[in-house]
Structure 1
Amino acid sequence: MSGGNSLGRRAIAEAVGTFFLVLIGPGAAMVNAHSDGAVSHPGVALAFAFVITGMVYALGHISGAHLNPAVTLAFLSARRFPARDVLAYVGAQCAGATAAAFTLRWLLGGVGDYGATLPAIGVARGFVVELLLSFALMLVIMAVATDKRVAEGFAGIAVGLTIGFCAMMGGPLTGASMNPARSLGPAISGGIWEGHWIYWAAPILGMFIAAQLYEFLRPAGPEHVAPEADLGPAGPIRTR
């Protein structure tokens, strides 16, 4: 791990960021269940929005703050992230999410289904909801990360707000995961696997489509495209 912003350091940043994403987001949902609704559904949505905003600003310049295997794979599909780093990123994200989920289990027990995401509207409709929300999230990420025309410095706010409005609408329906790691951690800690496959398939597919669509929508020409580099929502990752 010596020298520059190595893959090891970036993977640790991804694990830490995803740990706090799960600790605060699903944690808020569990506290809400534990306290008879004291946090409220809007409060849970805001918790997700705030923690993502904070982690993007804290870690975006280190690892890109993907904090989500589907985001990593979508950047890979758009040729904006190297295949050699994907396994380390996804492994770190899943490890961080799982560690947070077990921390929440120790703190709060099994309230709120351990923070697990469950399709309350059935698997088929749940798949569509997760796909659409994931599409919206990645569309925003592609804009702030890859397009020179977007004002700099607002990536964390844009991504955080997107997470927030998606959670506000989709939380009661599917948990508004949009993130395989976020769903995996509580599934492991609570042993709850109902409809779990949609929380991998739908975000990955939705974000893949969004990444390809944004590349198509963007006008041709280098004046519109961020430099080819390893990317995250906050833009190029500083590897040196």
Structure 2
Amino acid sequence: MLLVTFGAGSVMTDAITGGALGSVGIAATFAIVVTALVTALGHVSGAHLNPAVTIAFWSMRRFPAREVPPYVLAQCAGATGGALLLRAALGRVAQVGATVPHVPVATAFGVELVFSFALFLVIAAVATDARTPPALAPFAVGGTVGLCALQGALTGASMNPARSLGPAVASGTFTAHWLYWVAPIAGMLAAARLFDWLRDTRAHPTSPRGAALGVEGPID
């Protein structure tokens, strides 16, 4: 909910103020809110914030299957609630921050696929390797989100099905909505496979398979 309230809200604020934030300001907003939420909630719930992240961890056998549906439901409900709050407060400005492609759909799919791949590669690295310095995860993940968001003019730089779903529901804008589910999930699944292949789990400490894992490591 907070990711969409602040992130999509920054898109709406930029439209209302005639571009006062700009693309850099919007990207910084997404980076800051993700960093803050991972810092605040990483030790509580893992701070997934993203159905594609949850599914990718499950595919690595690092998140229990029984926890996937409630996590995805919570992510989608929170994002929709945040978007409806924005709609009630500001109206349908900028389509409530909905993500729509501004390039051909095939290109948009590739952009979201690559961004999502990069994001989960970073998440997997900071979450599964005990050699990662403590407290690095929020900045690594938030920074990657912000980096991709700088290219938001192409597709909205969603990388997150829930983040796209909420504003789509609130604004009724479902243009090429399917790609904001398929591309992030496919990209993160691919990154999960690559990271498992690159990393020698026999040589370095790792979280146990099947354990609940968040973006900062095992969930207590």
TM-score (norm: length of structure 1): 0.89
- Per-residue CA deviation, residues 141-185 of structure 1 (Å, 9 max, x unaligned), is 00000012221211000000000000012x000000000000000
Q: Secondary structure at the match of 2:147?
A: helix
Deviation (angstroms), 1:113 = 1.5
> Are the aligned partners of 1:218 and 1:224 in contact in 2 as well (CA < 8 Å)?
no
CA contact 2:27–2:146 (8 Å) conserved in 1: yes
> Distance in 1 between the 2:203 and 2:218 partners?
16
Q: CA deviation at 1:111?
A: 1.0
Higher mean displacement: 109-118 or 42-51? 109-118
Unpaired runs of 5+ residues, structure 2, are none
**Taking structure 1 as reference, are residues 85 and 222 closer, same or farther at Cα in structure 2, changes over 3 Å only?**
farther
CA distance in 1 between counterparts of 2:104 and 2:14 reads 23
Count how many residue pairs are aligned between Structure 1 and Structure 2: 219
1:92 matches 2:74: yes
C-alpha RMSD over aligned residues: 0.9
Q: TM-score, normalised by structure 2?
A: 0.97
Match of 2:46 in 1: 64
Q: C-alpha deviations, 1:184-240, integer Å up to 9, x for none? A: 0000000001000000000000000001100100024152423442101111111xx
| Matching of residue 189 in structure 1 with residue 158 in structure 2 | no
Deviating beyond 4 angstroms after TM superposition, the runs of 4 or more aligned structure 1 residues are: none
148-157 or 22-31, which deviates more: 148-157
1:119 alignment partner in structure 2: 101
8 Å contact kept, 2:62–2:208: no
Instruction: Name the counterpart of 1:4.
Output: none
After the TM superposition, which residues 73-92 of structure 1 pair with which residues of structure 2 at under 5 Å, given as runs? Answer: 73-92=55-74
Sequence identity (%): 56
Q: 1:214 aligns with which of 169, 173, 195?
A: 195
Contact map agreement 1:180 1:200 (CA 8 A) in 2: yes
Q: 2:207 aligns with which of 221, 226, 232?
A: 226
8 Å Cα contact 1:64/1:231 also seen in 2: yes
Asked if 1:172 corresponds to 2:153, the answer is yes
Of the structure 1 ranges 38-47 and 214-223, higher mean CA displacement relative to structure 2 is found in: 214-223
